Amino acid sequence: MFILADTGILLRAVDPADPQHAVIERAVRVLMGRGDVLAAALQNLAEFWNVCTRPATSRGGLGLDLAETESRLQDVESTFSILDDPPGLFYTWRRLVVAHGVMGKQVHDARLAALMTATRITHILTLNGPDFARYPGVTALDPATV
Protein backbone atom coordinates (compact mmCIF):
# COMPACT_ATOMS: atom_id res chain seq x y z
CA MET A 1 0.00 0.00 0.00
CA PHE A 2 1.16 3.55 -0.73
CA ILE A 3 1.22 5.83 2.31
CA LEU A 4 1.72 9.57 2.00
CA ALA A 5 4.10 11.08 4.55
CA ASP A 6 3.22 14.52 5.90
CA THR A 7 5.88 17.24 6.04
CA GLY A 8 6.38 16.88 9.80
CA ILE A 9 7.27 13.24 9.27
CA LEU A 10 9.86 14.10 6.61
CA LEU A 11 11.47 16.77 8.78
CA ARG A 12 11.78 14.53 11.81
CA ALA A 13 12.82 11.43 9.86
CA VAL A 14 16.09 13.06 8.81
CA ASP A 15 16.85 14.99 12.01
CA PRO A 16 18.38 12.73 14.68
CA ALA A 17 18.29 15.63 17.15
CA ASP A 18 14.49 15.95 16.95
CA PRO A 19 12.74 14.54 20.05
CA GLN A 20 10.32 12.58 17.83
CA HIS A 21 12.98 11.20 15.49
CA ALA A 22 13.09 7.73 17.08
CA VAL A 23 9.30 7.32 16.95
CA ILE A 24 9.20 8.43 13.31
CA GLU A 25 12.16 6.25 12.35
CA ARG A 26 10.55 3.20 13.97
CA ALA A 27 7.21 3.84 12.22
CA VAL A 28 8.95 4.21 8.84
CA ARG A 29 10.88 0.97 9.43
CA VAL A 30 7.74 -0.93 10.44
CA LEU A 31 5.71 0.31 7.47
CA MET A 32 8.45 -0.36 4.96
CA GLY A 33 9.15 -3.72 6.58
CA ARG A 34 5.60 -4.83 5.94
CA GLY A 35 5.92 -3.82 2.28
CA ASP A 36 4.28 -0.40 2.30
CA VAL A 37 5.67 2.32 0.04
CA LEU A 38 6.11 5.67 1.76
CA ALA A 39 5.67 8.65 -0.51
CA ALA A 40 6.16 12.41 -0.39
CA ALA A 41 4.31 14.99 -2.44
CA LEU A 42 5.95 17.91 -4.21
CA GLN A 43 4.10 20.15 -1.75
CA ASN A 44 5.73 18.31 1.17
CA LEU A 45 9.17 18.82 -0.32
CA ALA A 46 8.57 22.55 -0.79
CA GLU A 47 7.33 22.84 2.80
CA PHE A 48 10.35 20.80 3.95
CA TRP A 49 12.72 23.22 2.19
CA ASN A 50 10.82 26.17 3.66
CA VAL A 51 11.12 24.95 7.26
CA CYS A 52 14.77 23.91 6.87
CA THR A 53 15.87 27.24 5.42
CA ARG A 54 13.61 29.51 7.50
CA PRO A 55 15.63 31.34 10.18
CA ALA A 56 15.71 29.57 13.54
CA THR A 57 14.41 32.80 15.07
CA SER A 58 11.21 32.46 13.01
CA ARG A 59 8.35 30.22 14.12
CA GLY A 60 9.28 26.63 13.35
CA GLY A 61 12.36 27.46 11.32
CA LEU A 62 15.48 25.31 11.55
CA GLY A 63 17.89 27.91 10.19
CA LEU A 64 19.86 25.43 8.09
CA ASP A 65 22.12 26.53 5.26
CA LEU A 66 21.51 25.39 1.71
CA ALA A 67 24.09 22.60 1.80
CA GLU A 68 22.58 21.01 4.93
CA THR A 69 19.07 21.43 3.56
CA GLU A 70 20.09 19.78 0.28
CA SER A 71 21.71 16.92 2.21
CA ARG A 72 18.55 16.34 4.23
CA LEU A 73 16.41 16.51 1.10
CA GLN A 74 18.62 13.83 -0.47
CA ASP A 75 18.02 11.69 2.63
CA VAL A 76 14.26 12.14 2.14
CA GLU A 77 14.55 11.21 -1.54
CA SER A 78 16.46 8.03 -0.67
CA THR A 79 13.71 6.85 1.68
CA PHE A 80 10.45 8.18 0.25
CA SER A 81 9.02 7.85 -3.27
CA ILE A 82 8.34 11.26 -4.80
CA LEU A 83 4.85 11.75 -6.24
CA ASP A 84 4.14 14.05 -9.16
CA ASP A 85 0.99 16.12 -9.13
CA PRO A 86 -1.61 14.43 -11.32
CA PRO A 87 -3.53 16.35 -13.98
CA GLY A 88 -6.67 17.98 -12.64
CA LEU A 89 -5.40 18.20 -9.05
CA PHE A 90 -6.55 21.81 -8.82
CA TYR A 91 -10.17 20.81 -9.48
CA THR A 92 -10.08 18.02 -6.94
CA TRP A 93 -8.59 20.42 -4.37
CA ARG A 94 -11.14 23.12 -5.19
CA ARG A 95 -14.00 20.66 -4.77
CA LEU A 96 -12.68 19.61 -1.35
CA VAL A 97 -12.12 23.11 0.03
CA VAL A 98 -15.60 24.19 -1.01
CA ALA A 99 -17.34 21.00 0.15
CA HIS A 100 -15.61 21.00 3.54
CA GLY A 101 -15.48 24.75 4.17
CA VAL A 102 -11.68 24.75 4.41
CA MET A 103 -10.10 28.07 5.37
CA GLY A 104 -6.72 29.44 6.36
CA LYS A 105 -3.70 27.21 6.69
CA GLN A 106 -5.87 24.10 6.44
CA VAL A 107 -5.86 24.58 2.64
CA HIS A 108 -2.44 22.92 2.59
CA ASP A 109 -3.83 19.74 4.15
CA ALA A 110 -6.75 19.90 1.71
CA ARG A 111 -4.25 19.86 -1.13
CA LEU A 112 -2.67 16.70 0.29
CA ALA A 113 -6.13 15.16 0.67
CA ALA A 114 -6.85 16.09 -2.96
CA LEU A 115 -3.62 14.43 -4.07
CA MET A 116 -4.54 11.34 -2.09
CA THR A 117 -8.00 11.29 -3.66
CA ALA A 118 -6.60 11.73 -7.17
CA THR A 119 -3.98 9.00 -6.72
CA ARG A 120 -6.16 6.67 -4.63
CA ILE A 121 -3.80 6.79 -1.67
CA THR A 122 -5.89 6.12 1.42
CA HIS A 123 -3.40 6.58 4.28
CA ILE A 124 -1.22 9.43 5.49
CA LEU A 125 1.49 9.16 8.13
CA THR A 126 1.10 12.35 10.14
CA LEU A 127 1.46 13.94 13.54
CA ASN A 128 -1.71 15.93 12.82
CA GLY A 129 -4.37 13.28 12.34
CA PRO A 130 -7.35 15.49 13.28
CA ASP A 131 -6.49 17.82 10.37
CA PHE A 132 -7.43 15.05 7.94
CA ALA A 133 -10.53 13.71 9.72
CA ARG A 134 -12.96 15.71 7.56
CA TYR A 135 -11.89 13.97 4.35
CA PRO A 136 -13.73 10.74 3.54
CA GLY A 137 -11.43 7.99 2.38
CA VAL A 138 -8.37 9.48 4.14
CA THR A 139 -7.01 7.52 7.10
CA ALA A 140 -4.44 9.24 9.29
CA LEU A 141 -1.75 7.04 10.83
CA ASP A 142 -0.08 8.28 14.00
CA PRO A 143 3.57 7.17 14.00
CA ALA A 144 3.39 6.41 17.74
CA THR A 145 0.74 3.74 17.10
CA VAL A 146 2.24 2.11 14.01
Tell how far CA 27 is from the center of its chain.
14
Q: Report how far residue 85's alpha carbon sits from residue 117's, in angstroms, rounded to the nearest whole number.
A: 12
CA angle 121, 112, 92 (to 5 degrees): 85
Structure confidence by residue, pLDDT tens digits, 116-138: 999 999 999 999 999 999 999 99
Indicate the DSSP class of residue 79: H
pLDDT at 60: 87
Structural domains of the chain, ranges and CATH numbers in brackets: 2-145 (3.40.50.1010)
Residue-wise pLDDT for 35-46, tens only, equals 999 999 999 999
Nearest Cα to Cα of residue 9 among 35, 47, 56: 47
Listed as ranges, residues in the chain with pLDDT below 70 are none
- Number of residues assigned to the chain: 146
The answer to whether the pTM exceeds 0.75 is: yes
Residue-level pLDDT at 1: 95
